[in-house]
Amino acid sequence: MKTIHHLLSAAFLAVSAVSAEPAAISAKDLAAKLSALQQDGSSYVRLKLNVTPAGGAPKFTLQLQIKQRRTANSTEVVYQVLWPKERAGEAVLLKLSGGKFSGAVFTPPNTVKTLTSAQKNDSLFGSALSYADVLENFFAWDDQKITGTETVDKVSCQILESRAGKGSPFVRSWIDTRRLVPLKVEKFLPSGKPYRRIVTTQVVSDDLNRNLPAYLEIQDFQKGASTALDGSKLKHGVKYDDSEFTPAGLGQVTPPR
């Protein structure tokens, strides 16, 4: 987020809105700073997903733990359900390396299904977030440009447009350049039609004293679904065994030491 990955990483210390006017910054430099924030090594996250499915299906809440390792060259994340009891232990492993997606889904007690690249846009635990949303770092894409300014939640933001290539889907991010936080992100199909919106409603300070979104509202325009993400705990510099980022390790639900 993070990208959509650091939109998922947060704690609960409030940070006040800014009144000072941020200094001008180029699109390339702004994207590079945002990209670097996502390449933060190993971390552990606890959060809640409050899901409103499409079609009037019942709402539900999941408490999750997230194990992640993010570098400039690869991203590995494991999402595991802690609550409710009837879904505890469900897990998803997602990897992105060299532009190639891979992963696996674990259902207790011992069912593992491999994910293919064709499934990267599938829903994460039935929420309005896709696997691609929590993996991709669009701030690292080659084509970055500032298309204007707009006020979001009383904060003047630079609108950064990120494209992976001509004719590909693209992303617009409304960036609070002082705190280096995306206050709104919209994803578009190549036709220019928006299909996902992610809005930050609370910004907090993490354990590295950086500003990150803590409460997010996600809308899936194609399915008519929405999800609220409520972050509660974030810790960097944790140690993981390589086995935890394998399909066989998805049953290990214990948090890091």
Give the per-residue SS3 of 156-172: EEEEEEEECCCCCCEEE
Q: Is the Cα torsion angle 181, 24, 40, 189 positive or negative in sign?
A: positive
Domain of residue 236: give its range: 13-242
How confident is the model over 108-140, as pLDDT tens digits?
A: 999 999 999 999 999 999 999 999 999 999 999
How confident is the model over 28-82, as pLDDT tens digits?
A: 999 999 999 999 999 999 999 999 999 999 999 999 999 999 999 999 999 999 9
The tally of domains found in the chain comes to: 1
> H helices of 61-147, where?
131-135
Q: Considering the domain boundaries, does residue 256 fall inside one?
A: no
Number of Cβ atoms within 10 Å of the Cβ of 7: 26
Q: Considering the domain boundaries, does residue 136 fall inside one?
A: yes
Q: Considering the domain boundaries, does residue 247 fall inside one?
A: no
Residue 146: which CATH number?
A: 2.50.20.10
What's the rounded Cα separation, in Å, for the pair 30 and 41? Answer: 20
List, in order, residues 6 or more apart from 218 with CB less than 8 Å away.
127, 128, 129, 133, 196, 197, 198, 199, 226, 227, 228, 229
Q: Considering the domain boundaries, does residue 254 fall inside one?
A: no
Q: Considering the domain boundaries, does residue 5 fall inside one?
A: no
Q: Are 92 and 101 in contact (CB under 8 A)?
A: no
Q: What is the pTM of this model?
A: 0.88
Q: Considering the domain boundaries, does residue 225 fall inside one?
A: yes
Query: Longest C-alpha distance within the chain, in Å?
Result: 54
Place of tokens 């390339």: 28
Q: Considering the domain boundaries, does residue 226 fall inside one?
A: yes
DSSP state of 57: P
Q: Considering the domain boundaries, does residue 113 fall inside one?
A: yes
